[in-house]
Structure 1
Amino acid sequence: MFNIKYVAAGATAIALMASSAMAEKVLRIQSVLATSSDEVTMLADFGKDVEALTGGSLTVEILPAGAVVGPRDIMDAVDAGLVEGGFAWTHYWGGKHVAANLFGAPVAGAGVGMDNIAFLSWFQYGGGKELYDRLWDEMGVNVKGFMLQPVGPEALGWFPEPIESMDDFRQMRFRAPPGMVGAAYADIGVPAVAMGGGDILPALEKGTIDAAEWCCPKPDSVFGFQKVLKHYYLQGLHQVVVNADMYINGDFYDSLSDLEKKALEVASTASLSKSMSYRIYENGKALKDLTENHGVILEDTPADYFTEYMAAAKNALQEASDSNEFFAEVWQSQKDFADIAVPFWAGAQAANASLGKAHADTLK
């Protein structure tokens, strides 16, 4: 006869062993940012969703910038399996493949007016995700990518004094993003300097640079730019949309169960919406605090910025399209999408923007 006590004990032991085995899968994600950043706050929320959806069989551990490798080496580290995951913006890897710029930060809205919401529509329903999944093979890395945080539009940036025209702007040593976005600034004569987010404030304090952009009111205020500069310009074209994403080593991803893979997919899709919702409110609160409590002055961007920067952006896009077949395919997909979606979206948003500005003017 079976001894029920031994059977129960054996079942408990097996369950504990299974639970222990399930909990052994840890996805370590090294970020390009410190753990105090807004982006990492949202990444942590993504990690909680993954753990909940998998019942704890897959957990996410976030490592700060420099924990394993330097920020510029994250993609290579994930490719080699030194760390299971990385978190950055895909345009950071434009040196590996120029098409990365079209997924991370399509300069000037890909030249066709795509904002963060329109980009998300293209990504989810206009063929963008299928092209994104091909990017890693085109780049030659053993990586599975997940887009997590579409943000935008980004502010033009912070200045020590008002700029009345592009001639004033060209006198400033300006922190700009890497890749095609920064190159377009250089093309119109702005002395553009690329550097990591944590290096910007020290560079401003030392006078290494005169002006800077990073993102938006909340992340900018976390870095403390308001301590040095007081003139803030919200309207810019350089990053109408910018996407932070996660990269997982291909072998680690292949080792996951179907449930765990589906959890990553579902959690990343939820993150796309959560990050936009989070940022709108957080940026609103931060802008109110900056202007009311820190002496920050909102300025209007000079009109000649838009014409000069857009011309440089379109030239850069065309040159890259002429020289790289995959870039041309992705950009054509974005343009085809924009031909259908942007006339509706831009028209609808114009009315809403006018109404919103009228409300904002009553609060001045």
Structure 2
Amino acid sequence: MRVMGKKFKFIGPLVLLLASLTILVACGGKETETVVEERIVEVEKKVEPITLKVQAAWPTTNMIYDNLVDFSERVEKMSGGRLIIEHLPGGAIVPAFEIQDATSEGVIDGGHTAMGYILGKSRAAIPLSHGPVYGMDMIDMWGWYYNGGGIELLQEWYQEELGLNIVSFPIAPAGPQALGWFAKEINTLDDIVGLKYRIYGIGNEVYGKIGVSVIQLPGAEILPALERGVLDAAEWVGGRMDLQLGFQDILKLHYTPGMHEPTTYSDLVINKDKYDSLGPDLQAIIEAAANQTAFRWWTKFAQENALAYREMVDIHGVDVRKTPDSILYEFLRVYDELVLEDAANDPFYAKVVASQKEYAGLIVPYRLSTWPAYDFAGKHYWEDEIFLK
């Protein structure tokens, strides 16, 4: 008996072992060739997954944290487990306002955060993420990012203007935000002048110029300030997030919409060196998962807010009223003045605003000219269900 052949073949990530045993048997002076066994064994090469630690700027109890969880689950499934996003709540490694710096330095691999949190570094954070945006809604703003040059400006801002080693993906759209919760009725612009009003970011600046006594407070301090009379009014987001904070237990008068954040995008930031090391397939998966998460999140956000406002009115007895137009128009007027000032002082800010105006100047008139007003068919079917007074 002798072995006539043995051969091994390596294909891609799998090892295929082909074992052919040919046996020659002496029988009656003749050799008879008999194939005893032919077997293929597949051995899968073990691939260690890549794990990225991504910290959010908010706690797990905040609805927006679900956006990061959704993204993480999509990445793992789309990559077949080759890329794992380990999502961490706000404060797990670094404070919320330090996420971009920590990502750039490699302290964490990525962050789920708000551009407005680093407004002190550059006022271009306002048009890049929120603000009146010249009549554009969430879909239009997305179009500006991906069809109007916004995504390139976003990378330029982080990498060249701020010198951060970061890539960014818009991932969590929200808005329009409400004007907020008030202790007394507001019917005209004069009714808000002098009020002690908690509001964030560009809204704080604009209403301050209008004559409101504006105050910036973190979320955890808003309700105690309202209870002590330190505040006369406050905004947070609106809908579900306001219910989660508990405004309905203190005030029953709610005005919407605001004009300070008609649409807002939070972003996913990843250390650029880490991102570049992933290879084009995993990079494409991150971008695709971020895009899908953004749109799925938007529909979830709208549904949750619809349910939340129904709960406000039907269960908590909240009086939801329309913000007087005079307040919204004055906001736009003062906002435009601030934009001119900022653009004169910052060439990059001016570049972003010019890009947005160019895109909005194409899309918004088109929609105003050809799309039916949302309330046309809406009121035909649901006018009796409108809770706004």
**Does TM-score exceed 0.5, indicating one fold?**
yes
1:7: Cα distance to partner? 6.2
Corresponding residue number in structure 2 for 1:41 = 66
CA distance in 2, matches of 1:86, 1:200: 25
- Which structure is higher in RCO with an 8 Å CA cutoff and minimum separation 6? 1
Classify the secondary structure of the residue corresponding to 1:215. Answer: coil
Uncovered stretches (5+) of structure 1, i.e. residues with no partner: none
Measured at CA, do residues 6 and 292 of structure 1 come closer, stay the same or move farther in structure 2, by a change above 3 Å? closer
The answer to whether the Cα contact below 8 Å between 2:56 and 2:68 also exists between their aligned partners in 1 is no
Q: Deviations over 1:292-351 (max 9, x none)?
A: 001111112123212221111001111111111111111001111121111122345662
Q: Quick one: which of 186, 190, 205 aligns to 1:167?
A: 190
Structure 2 partner of 1:183: 205
Deviation at 1:91, TM superposition (A): 2.1
1:194 matched to which residue of 2? Answer: 216
Amino acid at match of 2:344: D
Instruction: State the AA in 2 paired with 1:285.
Output: L
Deviation at 1:125, TM superposition (A): 1.2
Q: Please, which of 307, 331, 342 is the counterpart of residue 329 of structure 2?
A: 307
Question: Paired residue for 1:339, among 349, 352, 361?
Answer: 361
Task: Please say if residues 194 and 211 of structure 2, whose CA atoms lie closer than 8 Å, have aligned partners that are also in contact.
Answer: no
Find the partner of 1:15 among 19, 28, 45: 45
Aligned partner (choices 208, 221, 233) of residue 211 of structure 1: 233
Structure 2 counterpart of 1:52, which letter?
A: K
- Choose which of 111, 126, 144 in structure 1 pairs with 2:148: 126
Equivalent residue, structure 1, for 2:341: 319
Is residue 354 of structure 2 the alignment partner of residue 329 of structure 1?
Answer: no
How far 1:193 sits from its partner (Å)?
Answer: 2.2
1:212-235 Cα deviation digits (max 9, x unpaired): 212130121122211112111122
Alpha-carbon shift at residue 92 of structure 1 (Å) = 2.0
> Which aligned segments of 4 or more residues in structure 1 are displaced greater than 4 angstroms?
1-8, 347-350, 357-360
Cα distance in 2 between the residues matched to 1:63 and 1:360: 41
- Residue 84 and residue 195 in structure 1: after superposition, are their counterparts in 2 closer, same or farther (change >3 A)? farther
Query: Within 2, Cα distance between the matches of 1:347 and 1:264?
Result: 36
One of 118, 127, 131 as aligned partner of 1:93: 118
- Matching residue within 248, 255, 259 for 1:237: 259
What SS does the aligned partner of 2:268 have? Answer: strand
The one-letter code of the counterpart of 1:65 is G
Alpha-carbon displacement from aligned partner over 1:248-270 (angstroms, at most 9, x marks no partner): 11222122122211111101111
Find out whether 1:75 has 2:100 as its counterpart: yes
What residue in structure 2 maps to residue 152 of structure 1? 175
User: Is the 1:75–1:247 Cα contact (8 Å) retained in structure 2?
Assistant: yes
1:28-52 superposed Cα distances (whole Å, 9 cap, x missing partner)? 2211211122111122111111111
Aligned residue among 218, 223, 227 for 2:245: 223
- Quote the offset at 1:177 in angstroms: 1.6
State the Cα distance separating 1:135 from its structure 2 match.
Answer: 1.4
Aligned counterparts of 2:218 and 2:167: Cα–Cα separation in 1: 24
Deviates more, 1:186-195 or 1:304-313: 186-195
In structure 2, the residue corresponding to 1:38 is in which secondary structure? coil
- Aligned counterparts of 1:345 and 1:141: Cα–Cα separation in 2: 37
**CA RMSD, Structure 1 to Structure 2 (Å):** 2.4
In the alignment, is residue 286 of structure 1 matched against residue 316 of structure 2?
no
Looking at structure 2, the residues matched to 315 and 299 of structure 1 have their Cα atoms a distance apart, in angstroms, of 28
What is the CA–CA distance in structure 2 between the aligned matches of 1:150 and 1:119, rounded to whole Å?
9
Change (3 A) 1:191 1:355: farther
Q: Which residue number in structure 2 is paired with residue 108 of structure 1?
A: 132
- The structure with the largest strand share of the pair is 2
Give the TM-score of the pair, scaled to structure 1.
Answer: 0.90
Aligned residue pairs total 354
Instruction: Tell me what 1:26 maps to.
Output: 51
How far off is 1:139 after superposition?
1.6
Task: Tell which structure's C-alpha radius of gyration is larger.
Answer: 2
Equivalent position amino acid for 2:54 in 1: I
Contact 2:76–2:84, Cα closer than 8 Å, also in 1 = yes
Amino acid corresponding to residue 54 of structure 1 in structure 2: S
Q: Distance in 1 between matches of 2:222 and 2:6?
A: 70
User: For 1:357 and 1:80, how far apart are their aligned partners in 2?
Assistant: 52
Shift in CA distance, 229/360, structure 1 to aligned 2, threshold 3 Å: farther
2:84 aligns to what?
Answer: 59
Letter in 1 for 2:238: C
Q: Does structure 2 conserve the Cα–Cα contact (< 8 Å) formed by 1:162 and 1:299? A: no
What is the CA distance between 1:11 and its match in structure 2?
7.1
Q: CA deviation at 1:114?
A: 1.6
* Corresponding position of 2:298: 276
What one-letter code is carried by the residue in structure 1 that aligns with 2:123?
V
Unpaired segments of 5 or more residues in structure 2? 9-14, 19-40
Q: How does 1:138-149 map to 2 (within 5 A)?
A: 138-149=161-172
Structure 1 stretch 89-98 or stretch 190-199: which is displaced more?
190-199
What is the identity percentage for the equivalent residue pairs of Structure 1 and Structure 2? 32
Q: In the alignment, residue 248 of structure 1 is paired with which amino acid?
A: I
Matched, 1:262 2:287: no
CA distance in 1, matches of 2:311, 2:277: 47
1:354 Cα deviation (Å)? 4.2
**Letter of the 1:44 counterpart:** V
Contact 1:27 1:85 in 2 (8 A): yes
Q: Deviation of residue 360 (structure 1)?
A: 4.5
Distance 1:346 1:215 in 2: 27
- For 2:103 and 2:63, locate their aligned partners in 1 and report how far apart those are by CA, in whole Å: 23
